Structure 1
Amino acid sequence: MLILLLGANLGDRVDTLRKAVSLIKERIGSIDQQSSLYKTAAWGVTEQPDFLNQVVRIDTDLTPESVLEQTQRIEQELGRIRREKWGARAIDIDILYYDQRIILTETLTIPHPYLHQRRFTLVPLAEVAPDFVHPVLQKTTLELLAGCEDTGEVEIFNL
Protein backbone atom coordinates (compact mmCIF):
# COMPACT_ATOMS: atom_id res chain seq x y z
CA MET A 1 0.00 0.00 0.00
CA LEU A 2 1.35 3.35 -1.13
CA ILE A 3 -0.04 6.56 0.37
CA LEU A 4 0.54 9.94 -1.28
CA LEU A 5 -0.34 13.48 -0.24
CA LEU A 6 -1.30 15.87 -3.02
CA GLY A 7 -1.27 19.62 -2.56
CA ALA A 8 -1.75 22.72 -4.72
CA ASN A 9 -2.05 26.43 -4.01
CA LEU A 10 -1.49 28.12 -7.38
CA GLY A 11 -3.72 28.22 -10.44
CA ASP A 12 -6.86 26.09 -10.74
CA ARG A 13 -6.16 23.90 -7.72
CA VAL A 14 -9.13 21.56 -8.17
CA ASP A 15 -8.32 20.91 -11.84
CA THR A 16 -4.64 20.36 -11.06
CA LEU A 17 -5.47 17.81 -8.35
CA ARG A 18 -7.88 16.01 -10.69
CA LYS A 19 -5.18 15.83 -13.37
CA ALA A 20 -2.65 14.57 -10.81
CA VAL A 21 -5.02 11.79 -9.70
CA SER A 22 -5.58 10.79 -13.31
CA LEU A 23 -1.84 10.65 -14.02
CA ILE A 24 -1.21 8.69 -10.83
CA LYS A 25 -3.77 6.09 -11.93
CA GLU A 26 -2.17 5.92 -15.36
CA ARG A 27 1.48 5.71 -14.27
CA ILE A 28 1.71 4.49 -10.68
CA GLY A 29 -1.22 2.22 -9.86
CA SER A 30 -4.89 1.88 -9.05
CA ILE A 31 -6.28 4.21 -6.41
CA ASP A 32 -8.28 2.21 -3.91
CA GLN A 33 -9.20 5.17 -1.72
CA GLN A 34 -8.95 8.95 -1.80
CA SER A 35 -9.81 11.52 0.82
CA SER A 36 -12.01 14.54 0.48
CA LEU A 37 -10.35 17.76 -0.65
CA TYR A 38 -9.23 19.93 2.26
CA LYS A 39 -8.55 23.65 2.31
CA THR A 40 -5.49 24.16 4.48
CA ALA A 41 -3.38 27.03 5.68
CA ALA A 42 0.17 27.16 4.32
CA TRP A 43 2.81 25.55 6.54
CA GLY A 44 6.48 26.54 6.82
CA VAL A 45 6.26 29.64 4.61
CA THR A 46 2.89 31.00 5.73
CA GLU A 47 2.59 34.16 3.59
CA GLN A 48 1.06 32.45 0.55
CA PRO A 49 -2.36 31.30 -0.69
CA ASP A 50 -4.21 28.44 1.04
CA PHE A 51 -3.65 24.93 -0.25
CA LEU A 52 -6.02 22.24 -1.34
CA ASN A 53 -4.79 18.86 -0.09
CA GLN A 54 -5.87 15.29 -0.67
CA VAL A 55 -4.54 11.89 0.35
CA VAL A 56 -4.71 8.92 -2.03
CA ARG A 57 -4.10 5.25 -1.23
CA ILE A 58 -2.69 3.25 -4.13
CA ASP A 59 -1.99 -0.33 -5.05
CA THR A 60 1.26 -0.38 -7.04
CA ASP A 61 3.97 -2.73 -8.19
CA LEU A 62 6.52 0.07 -8.67
CA THR A 63 9.56 0.37 -6.45
CA PRO A 64 9.66 3.35 -4.08
CA GLU A 65 12.36 4.93 -6.27
CA SER A 66 10.20 4.51 -9.38
CA VAL A 67 7.25 6.06 -7.52
CA LEU A 68 9.42 9.07 -6.66
CA GLU A 69 10.53 9.38 -10.28
CA GLN A 70 6.93 9.24 -11.52
CA THR A 71 5.60 11.72 -8.94
CA GLN A 72 8.34 14.21 -9.81
CA ARG A 73 7.61 13.79 -13.51
CA ILE A 74 3.88 14.39 -12.87
CA GLU A 75 4.70 17.50 -10.80
CA GLN A 76 6.85 18.87 -13.60
CA GLU A 77 4.20 18.18 -16.25
CA LEU A 78 1.57 19.97 -14.17
CA GLY A 79 3.71 23.09 -13.78
CA ARG A 80 5.72 22.58 -10.60
CA ILE A 81 8.67 24.94 -10.39
CA ARG A 82 10.91 24.48 -7.35
CA ARG A 83 11.85 27.96 -6.13
CA GLU A 84 11.93 27.77 -2.35
CA LYS A 85 11.38 25.10 0.27
CA TRP A 86 7.72 25.09 1.37
CA GLY A 87 6.91 27.86 -1.11
CA ALA A 88 3.81 28.28 -3.27
CA ARG A 89 3.42 25.64 -5.98
CA ALA A 90 1.09 24.44 -8.69
CA ILE A 91 1.35 20.86 -7.39
CA ASP A 92 3.18 18.89 -4.73
CA ILE A 93 3.09 15.11 -4.41
CA ASP A 94 4.64 13.63 -1.27
CA ILE A 95 5.15 9.96 -0.52
CA LEU A 96 3.82 9.46 3.01
CA TYR A 97 4.06 5.68 3.35
CA TYR A 98 4.95 2.66 1.27
CA ASP A 99 3.64 -0.30 3.27
CA GLN A 100 5.67 -0.55 6.47
CA ARG A 101 8.94 0.26 4.70
CA ILE A 102 11.50 2.54 6.27
CA ILE A 103 13.75 4.14 3.65
CA LEU A 104 16.39 6.77 4.23
CA THR A 105 18.55 7.67 1.24
CA GLU A 106 19.90 10.90 -0.21
CA THR A 107 16.84 11.29 -2.41
CA LEU A 108 14.05 9.51 -0.55
CA THR A 109 12.77 9.34 3.03
CA ILE A 110 9.82 7.06 3.83
CA PRO A 111 7.79 7.53 5.96
CA HIS A 112 7.63 11.25 5.19
CA PRO A 113 9.71 12.95 7.90
CA TYR A 114 7.18 15.68 8.75
CA LEU A 115 3.86 13.87 8.38
CA HIS A 116 3.29 13.54 12.14
CA GLN A 117 3.79 17.30 12.62
CA ARG A 118 1.25 18.51 10.05
CA ARG A 119 -2.52 18.64 10.47
CA PHE A 120 -2.91 19.23 6.71
CA THR A 121 -1.42 15.76 6.24
CA LEU A 122 -2.95 13.94 9.19
CA VAL A 123 -6.57 15.04 8.74
CA PRO A 124 -6.98 13.66 5.18
CA LEU A 125 -4.75 10.69 6.07
CA ALA A 126 -7.11 9.85 8.95
CA GLU A 127 -9.95 9.69 6.44
CA VAL A 128 -8.27 6.94 4.35
CA ALA A 129 -6.01 5.18 6.86
CA PRO A 130 -7.09 5.97 10.45
CA ASP A 131 -5.61 2.79 11.95
CA PHE A 132 -2.42 2.61 9.88
CA VAL A 133 0.57 2.35 12.23
CA HIS A 134 3.56 4.62 11.55
CA PRO A 135 6.47 2.17 11.19
CA VAL A 136 8.90 4.36 13.13
CA LEU A 137 6.71 6.07 15.74
CA GLN A 138 4.47 3.01 16.27
CA LYS A 139 1.32 5.12 16.53
CA THR A 140 -1.82 5.04 14.41
CA THR A 141 -2.83 8.00 12.27
CA LEU A 142 -5.55 8.86 14.79
CA GLU A 143 -3.03 8.77 17.65
CA LEU A 144 -0.64 11.00 15.68
CA LEU A 145 -3.46 13.44 14.93
CA ALA A 146 -4.54 13.54 18.59
CA GLY A 147 -0.97 14.40 19.62
CA CYS A 148 -0.23 16.85 16.81
CA GLU A 149 0.71 20.32 18.05
CA ASP A 150 0.09 22.01 14.68
CA THR A 151 -2.88 24.38 14.92
CA GLY A 152 -3.13 25.17 11.20
CA GLU A 153 -6.63 25.43 9.78
CA VAL A 154 -7.84 22.32 7.92
CA GLU A 155 -11.41 22.19 6.63
CA ILE A 156 -13.27 20.19 4.01
CA PHE A 157 -13.38 22.04 0.70
CA ASN A 158 -16.78 21.96 -0.96
CA LEU A 159 -16.77 22.33 -4.73
Structure 2
Amino acid sequence: MNHQIFISIGSNIDRAVNTQAAKTALEKHFSDLVCSQVYESEAIGFKGAPFYNWVASATTSYAVTEVVSTLKRIESENGRTRGLKKFASRTLDLDLLLYDNKVANEPVELPRGEILYNAFVLQPLAEIAPDAIHPVCHKSFSRLWRDFDKTKQRLWPISFAWSNTK
Protein backbone atom coordinates (compact mmCIF):
# COMPACT_ATOMS: atom_id res chain seq x y z
CA MET A 1 0.00 0.00 0.00
CA ASN A 2 1.29 3.44 -0.88
CA HIS A 3 1.34 6.27 1.64
CA GLN A 4 1.65 9.99 0.99
CA ILE A 5 4.42 11.66 2.93
CA PHE A 6 5.58 15.24 3.28
CA ILE A 7 9.15 16.06 4.23
CA SER A 8 10.72 19.34 5.30
CA ILE A 9 14.27 19.86 4.03
CA GLY A 10 16.76 22.44 5.26
CA SER A 11 20.46 23.25 4.97
CA ASN A 12 22.68 26.12 6.05
CA ILE A 13 26.07 24.52 5.34
CA ASP A 14 27.05 24.28 1.66
CA ARG A 15 23.36 24.91 0.98
CA ALA A 16 23.17 24.53 -2.80
CA VAL A 17 25.12 21.26 -2.87
CA ASN A 18 23.15 19.74 0.02
CA THR A 19 19.79 20.91 -1.31
CA GLN A 20 20.49 19.17 -4.62
CA ALA A 21 21.85 16.07 -2.82
CA ALA A 22 18.65 15.85 -0.77
CA LYS A 23 16.45 15.93 -3.87
CA THR A 24 18.58 13.28 -5.60
CA ALA A 25 18.42 11.00 -2.55
CA LEU A 26 14.67 11.49 -2.05
CA GLU A 27 14.05 10.59 -5.70
CA LYS A 28 16.08 7.42 -5.19
CA HIS A 29 14.10 6.26 -2.15
CA PHE A 30 10.57 7.54 -2.77
CA SER A 31 8.15 7.85 -5.72
CA ASP A 32 6.21 10.74 -7.25
CA LEU A 33 8.40 13.45 -5.70
CA VAL A 34 6.88 16.95 -5.85
CA CYS A 35 9.02 19.85 -4.65
CA SER A 36 8.10 23.30 -3.48
CA GLN A 37 10.15 26.34 -4.37
CA VAL A 38 13.34 26.74 -2.38
CA TYR A 39 13.14 29.48 0.22
CA GLU A 40 15.84 31.26 2.16
CA SER A 41 15.25 32.02 5.81
CA GLU A 42 17.14 33.29 8.79
CA ALA A 43 18.34 30.75 11.35
CA ILE A 44 15.76 30.36 14.13
CA GLY A 45 16.75 29.56 17.71
CA PHE A 46 20.48 30.24 17.20
CA LYS A 47 22.91 32.57 15.43
CA GLY A 48 23.93 30.96 12.16
CA ALA A 49 24.04 31.32 8.41
CA PRO A 50 20.68 31.57 6.59
CA PHE A 51 19.00 28.33 5.56
CA TYR A 52 17.66 27.03 2.30
CA ASN A 53 14.32 25.36 3.08
CA TRP A 54 11.76 23.51 1.01
CA VAL A 55 9.11 20.81 1.33
CA ALA A 56 8.64 17.70 -0.78
CA SER A 57 5.76 15.29 -1.06
CA ALA A 58 6.21 11.70 -2.18
CA THR A 59 4.62 8.30 -2.07
CA THR A 60 6.10 5.26 -0.40
CA SER A 61 5.26 1.74 0.68
CA TYR A 62 7.59 2.15 3.70
CA ALA A 63 6.23 2.12 7.24
CA VAL A 64 6.79 5.28 9.30
CA THR A 65 9.85 3.77 11.01
CA GLU A 66 11.41 2.95 7.63
CA VAL A 67 10.76 6.47 6.33
CA VAL A 68 12.37 8.02 9.43
CA SER A 69 15.42 5.74 9.27
CA THR A 70 15.80 6.48 5.54
CA LEU A 71 15.73 10.23 6.21
CA LYS A 72 18.32 9.88 9.00
CA ARG A 73 20.53 7.79 6.71
CA ILE A 74 20.30 10.44 3.95
CA GLU A 75 21.28 13.11 6.50
CA SER A 76 24.29 11.08 7.67
CA GLU A 77 25.39 10.28 4.11
CA ASN A 78 25.46 14.02 3.47
CA GLY A 79 27.63 14.93 6.44
CA ARG A 80 25.05 15.56 9.16
CA THR A 81 26.53 15.15 12.60
CA ARG A 82 24.34 15.07 15.65
CA GLY A 83 25.55 17.08 18.61
CA LEU A 84 24.15 18.00 21.96
CA LYS A 85 22.60 21.24 20.73
CA LYS A 86 19.14 21.04 19.17
CA PHE A 87 19.53 24.34 17.34
CA ALA A 88 22.75 24.39 15.32
CA SER A 89 24.02 24.73 11.77
CA ARG A 90 23.62 21.60 9.68
CA THR A 91 24.46 20.20 6.28
CA LEU A 92 21.04 18.62 5.94
CA ASP A 93 17.90 18.39 8.05
CA LEU A 94 15.10 16.11 6.84
CA ASP A 95 11.93 15.95 8.93
CA LEU A 96 8.87 13.83 8.27
CA LEU A 97 5.96 16.27 8.53
CA LEU A 98 3.01 14.09 7.55
CA TYR A 99 2.40 10.42 6.83
CA ASP A 100 -1.07 10.13 5.31
CA ASN A 101 -3.37 11.54 8.02
CA LYS A 102 -1.64 9.68 10.83
CA VAL A 103 -1.63 11.28 14.28
CA ALA A 104 1.04 9.84 16.60
CA ASN A 105 3.81 10.62 19.06
CA GLU A 106 5.94 7.54 18.35
CA PRO A 107 8.27 6.85 16.60
CA VAL A 108 8.00 10.55 15.68
CA GLU A 109 5.45 13.28 16.22
CA LEU A 110 2.88 13.24 13.41
CA PRO A 111 1.82 15.67 12.18
CA ARG A 112 5.03 17.45 13.10
CA GLY A 113 4.34 20.39 15.41
CA GLU A 114 6.56 22.83 13.57
CA ILE A 115 4.07 22.90 10.68
CA LEU A 116 2.07 25.35 12.77
CA TYR A 117 4.89 27.60 14.01
CA ASN A 118 7.66 27.73 11.40
CA ALA A 119 7.08 29.79 8.27
CA PHE A 120 9.84 27.87 6.48
CA VAL A 121 7.74 24.71 6.84
CA LEU A 122 4.19 26.02 6.47
CA GLN A 123 4.65 28.25 3.41
CA PRO A 124 6.26 25.59 1.16
CA LEU A 125 3.80 22.99 2.47
CA ALA A 126 0.88 25.29 1.61
CA GLU A 127 2.43 25.83 -1.82
CA ILE A 128 2.46 22.13 -2.80
CA ALA A 129 -0.61 20.97 -0.82
CA PRO A 130 -2.86 24.02 -0.44
CA ASP A 131 -6.08 22.04 -0.10
CA ALA A 132 -4.74 19.23 2.09
CA ILE A 133 -6.17 19.29 5.60
CA HIS A 134 -4.07 19.30 8.77
CA PRO A 135 -5.16 16.11 10.56
CA VAL A 136 -5.41 17.79 13.97
CA CYS A 137 -6.46 21.41 13.24
CA HIS A 138 -8.80 20.36 10.43
CA LYS A 139 -7.85 23.43 8.38
CA SER A 140 -6.25 23.49 4.95
CA PHE A 141 -2.57 24.35 4.74
CA SER A 142 -3.41 27.36 2.56
CA ARG A 143 -5.77 28.63 5.30
CA LEU A 144 -3.16 28.00 8.00
CA TRP A 145 -0.62 29.95 5.95
CA ARG A 146 -3.06 32.78 5.24
CA ASP A 147 -3.72 33.10 9.02
CA PHE A 148 -0.03 32.75 10.01
CA ASP A 149 1.65 35.78 11.63
CA LYS A 150 4.24 36.53 8.95
CA THR A 151 5.85 39.39 10.91
CA LYS A 152 7.88 37.10 13.21
CA GLN A 153 9.89 35.05 10.70
CA ARG A 154 11.50 36.31 7.51
CA LEU A 155 11.32 34.02 4.49
CA TRP A 156 11.79 34.66 0.79
CA PRO A 157 11.73 32.47 -2.33
CA ILE A 158 14.96 32.12 -4.27
CA SER A 159 15.67 31.02 -7.79
CA PHE A 160 17.20 27.56 -7.44
CA ALA A 161 18.43 25.70 -10.52
CA TRP A 162 17.86 21.98 -9.93
CA SER A 163 20.14 19.60 -11.76
CA ASN A 164 18.22 17.00 -13.73
CA THR A 165 18.58 13.89 -11.57
CA LYS A 166 16.21 11.50 -13.31
TM over 0.5: yes
Structure 2 counterpart SS, 1:120: helix
Counterpart residue number, 1:156: 157
Gaps of 5+ in 2: 161-166
- Are residues 1:100 and 2:101 paired? yes
Gaps of 5+ in 1: none
Q: Once superposed, which parts of structure 1, at least 4 consecutive aligned residues long, lie more than 3 Å away?
A: none
Whether contact under 8 Å (2:127, 2:142) holds in the other structure is: no
Deviations 1:27-54 (A, max 9, x none): 2x11331111100111222x11100011
Q: How far does residue 149 in structure 1 lie from its aligned partner after superposition?
A: 3.1
Q: How far does residue 147 in structure 1 lie from its aligned partner after superposition?
A: 2.6
- Cα distance in 2 between the residues matched to 1:86 and 1:6: 15
**Aligned residue-pair number:** 155
Compute the TM-score of the two structures, normalised by the length of structure 2. 0.88
Task: Call closer, same or farther: CA 1:8–1:58 in 2, change over 3 Å.
Answer: same
Counterpart residue number, 1:72: 72
Whether contact under 8 Å (2:26, 2:33) holds in the other structure is: no
Counterpart residue number, 2:8: 5
Counterpart AA for 1:21: K
Counterpart AA for 1:156: P
Whether contact under 8 Å (1:20, 1:74) holds in the other structure is: yes
Structure 1 counterpart SS, 2:123: helix
- Cα distance in 2 between the residues matched to 1:131 and 1:41: 27
Task: Call closer, same or farther: CA 1:100–1:82 in 2, change over 3 Å.
Answer: same
- Cα distance in 2 between the residues matched to 1:113 and 1:55: 15
- Cα distance in 2 between the residues matched to 1:156 and 1:31: 23
Q: How far does residue 9 in structure 1 lie from its aligned partner after superposition?
A: 0.2
Structure 2 counterpart SS, 1:117: coil
Structure 1 counterpart SS, 2:139: coil
Structure 2 counterpart SS, 1:65: helix
Whether contact under 8 Å (2:133, 2:141) holds in the other structure is: yes
Whether contact under 8 Å (1:103, 1:111) holds in the other structure is: yes
Counterpart AA for 1:35: S
**Residue 16 of structure 1, aligned match among 15, 18, 22:** 18
Q: How far does residue 59 in structure 1 lie from its aligned partner after superposition?
A: 0.9
- Cα distance in 2 between the residues matched to 1:131 and 1:86: 31
Counterpart residue number, 1:136: 136
Q: How far does residue 92 in structure 1 lie from its aligned partner after superposition?
A: 0.1
Compute the TM-score of the two structures, normalised by the length of structure 1. 0.92
Structure 1 counterpart SS, 2:33: strand
Higher mean C-alpha displacement, 32-41 vs 68-77: 32-41
Q: How far does residue 86 in structure 1 lie from its aligned partner after superposition?
A: 2.1
What's the % identity of the aligned pairs? Answer: 28
